[in-house]
């Protein structure tokens, strides 16, 4: 197996190359010097002073050639070292400064030995995570701003209605007793909607906290869903729905928080009850997939329009595109998704636009 090139090996290789070239240069110069001195000695001409001057001239020429060759070798060695080490280190420093300046899109791209290649790979992975985190932060901030706008919208409408009818009752504008009772009921309904919206916002804020505690305990999921079905049966019966269950008769044990999971499943059933017409068939089912359990809530009602399917789990998204104040808070599915994720699971919307099928996946442990 071929070993990975390292910085140490690169330095050793460059040093050996440098040493060999310098040695070759010195050997060549010595040969040149010896040949010149031999020719000088063989000629035997001239005075001793001339001979000595010629000797020193030869020595100076040899030294000058040595310096030139040595300089060339040093230049070549430095260039090799710069290509392998200095340039990549300069790129790394520039990349770090760029990241420190908030430019998370920057990436390192250079050819280098194993250690520097590892640094480059780790740096690019870090930059990618920082860029992703920055995008998620911007999306979260935008979501928060939009959430405040939606809360303001959803609170303003019922509160304005409550104020108007309360003022009418106070001034005696509504004299008929039957109209008074209808007005009082309307005020109560709007008050309930405001309270429900505030409760859902508070619940979602808690669930979005990273340190939100989720106490789980082993529970029979089949019996748990049967109890939910019994709770909702009268409501579906009263509205003329066909309510079916597909729940195994035996135990299906999984670890979850019963309060939170009840909230998630009841949100799904509540949406099916709220947005569909009489005669709709609603199904709640359970499947054991070994490591996970799949809880299904499906209906054959009006479905969810295509443009909303990709963002149906976002906050303040309702089954109908219109923003109205007489429906839900638009937070039910967002809360269900947070609950699923707190359990290490997921929730998805399957099926086509003519039907609605939510699948809630919860790990058994």
43 and 54 Cβ atoms separated by less than 8 Å: no
331 and 337 Cβ atoms separated by less than 8 Å: no
Burial class (CB in 10 A: 0-12, 13-18, 19+), 112: buried
Distance, in Å, from the CA atom of 330 to the CA atom of 350, rounded to the nearest integer, reads 19
Q: What contacts 223, CB < 8 A, 6 or more positions away? A: 251
248 and 267 Cβ atoms separated by less than 8 Å: no
Question: What would you report as the CA-atom Rg of the chain, rounded to the nearest whole angstrom?
Answer: 40
pLDDT at position 1, please? 40
pLDDT at position 59, please? 66
299 and 283 Cβ atoms separated by less than 8 Å: yes
Distance, in Å, from the CA atom of 24 to the CA atom of 270, rounded to the nearest integer, reads 89
pLDDT at position 139, please? 77
Residue 258 DSSP code: H
Tokens 């109890």 belong to which residue? 227
pLDDT at position 327, please? 52
pLDDT at position 25, please? 63
* Rounded (5°) CA angle 221-222-227: 95
298 and 351 Cβ atoms separated by less than 8 Å: yes
pLDDT at position 110, please? 76
- Count Cβ neighbours within 10 Å for each residue of 330-356 and write b for 16 or more, e otherwise: bbbbbbbbbbbebbebebeeebeeeeb
* Residues present in the chain in total: 365
0.75 surpassed by pTM: no
Measure CA 221 to chain center: 31
Q: What contacts 247, CB < 8 A, 6 or more positions away? A: 222, 225, 226, 229, 284, 285, 286
- How many CB atoms sit inside 10 A of residue 264's CB? 27
SS3 category, 276: coil
- Pick the closest to residue 236 from 195, 280, 200 (CA basis): 280
Report the side by side order of strands in the sheet with 346-350.
242-246, 281-288, 292-299, 356-363, 346-350
SS3 category, 332: helix
Q: What contacts 256, CB < 8 A, 6 or more positions away? A: 216, 217, 219, 221, 343, 362
CA distances from 51 to 38, 41, 48, 65 (A): 12, 9, 5, 21
The dihedrals phi and psi of 220, each to the nearest 5 degrees, come to -75, 105
pLDDT at position 292, please? 94
pLDDT at position 321, please? 44
Distance, in Å, from the CA atom of 342 to the CA atom of 215, rounded to the nearest integer, reads 10
Residue-level pLDDT, tens digit, the chain, 365 residues: 444 555 556 556 666 666 666 666 666 666 666 666 666 556 555 456 665 666 677 667 667 767 776 777 677 767 766 666 777 778 888 888 888 888 888 888 877 666 777 888 888 888 888 888 888 888 777 777 776 776 776 677 788 888 888 888 888 888 888 888 888 888 888 888 788 778 877 777 777 777 778 889 999 999 999 999 999 999 999 999 999 999 999 999 999 999 899 989 999 999 899 889 999 999 999 999 989 999 999 998 888 877 677 678 876 665 544 334 445 567 788 889 999 999 999 999 886 666 789 999 999 98
SS3 category, 243: strand
Distance, in Å, from the CA atom of 21 to the CA atom of 15, rounded to the nearest integer, reads 10
């Amino acid at each position: 197996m071929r070993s990975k090139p390292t910085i140490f090996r690169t330095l050793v290789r460059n040093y050996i190359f440098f040493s060999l070239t310098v040695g070759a240069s010195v050997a060549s110069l010595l040969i040149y010097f010896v040949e010149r001195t031999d020719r000088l000695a063989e000629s035997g001409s001239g005075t001793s002073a001339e001979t000595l001057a010629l000797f020193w001239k030869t020595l100076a020429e040899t030294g000058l050639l040595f310096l030139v060759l040595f300089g060339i070798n040093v230049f070549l060695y430095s260039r090799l070292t710069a290509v392998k080490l200095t340039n990549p280190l300069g790129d790394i420093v520039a990349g770090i400064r760029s990241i420190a300046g908030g430019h998370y899109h920057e990436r390192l791209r250079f050819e280098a030995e194993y250690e520097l290649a590892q640094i480059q790979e780790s740096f690019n992975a870090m930059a990618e995570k920082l860029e992703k985190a920055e995008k998620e932060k911007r999306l979260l901030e935008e979501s928060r701003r939009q959430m405040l706008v939606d809360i303001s919208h959803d609170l303003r409408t019922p509160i304005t209605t409550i104020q108007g009818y309360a003022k009418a009752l106070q001034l005696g504008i509504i004299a008929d007793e039957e109209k008074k009772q209808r007005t009082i009921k309307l005020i109560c309904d709007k008050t309930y909607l405001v309270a429900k919206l505030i409760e859902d916002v508070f619940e979602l804020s808690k669930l979005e906290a990273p340190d939100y505690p989720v106490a789980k305990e082993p529970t029979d999921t089949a019996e748990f869903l049967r109890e939910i079905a019994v709770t909702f049966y009268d409501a579906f019966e009263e509205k003329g729905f066909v309510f079916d269950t597909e729940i195994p008769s035996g135990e299906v044990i999984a670890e979850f928080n019963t309060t939170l999971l009840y909230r998630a499943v009841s949100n799904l059933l509540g949406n099916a009850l709220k947005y569909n017409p009489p005669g709709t068939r609603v199904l709640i089912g359970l499947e054991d997939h070994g490591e996970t359990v799949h809880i299904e809530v499906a209906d054959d009602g009006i479905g969810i329009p295509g443009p909303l399917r990709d963002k149906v789990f976002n906050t303040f998204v309702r089954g109908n595109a219109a923003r109205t104040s007489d429906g839900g808070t638009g937070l039910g599915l967002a809360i269900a998704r947070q609950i699923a994720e707190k359990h290490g699971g997921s929730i998805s919307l399957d099926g086509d636009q003519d039907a609605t099928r939510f699948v809630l996946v919860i790990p058994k442990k």
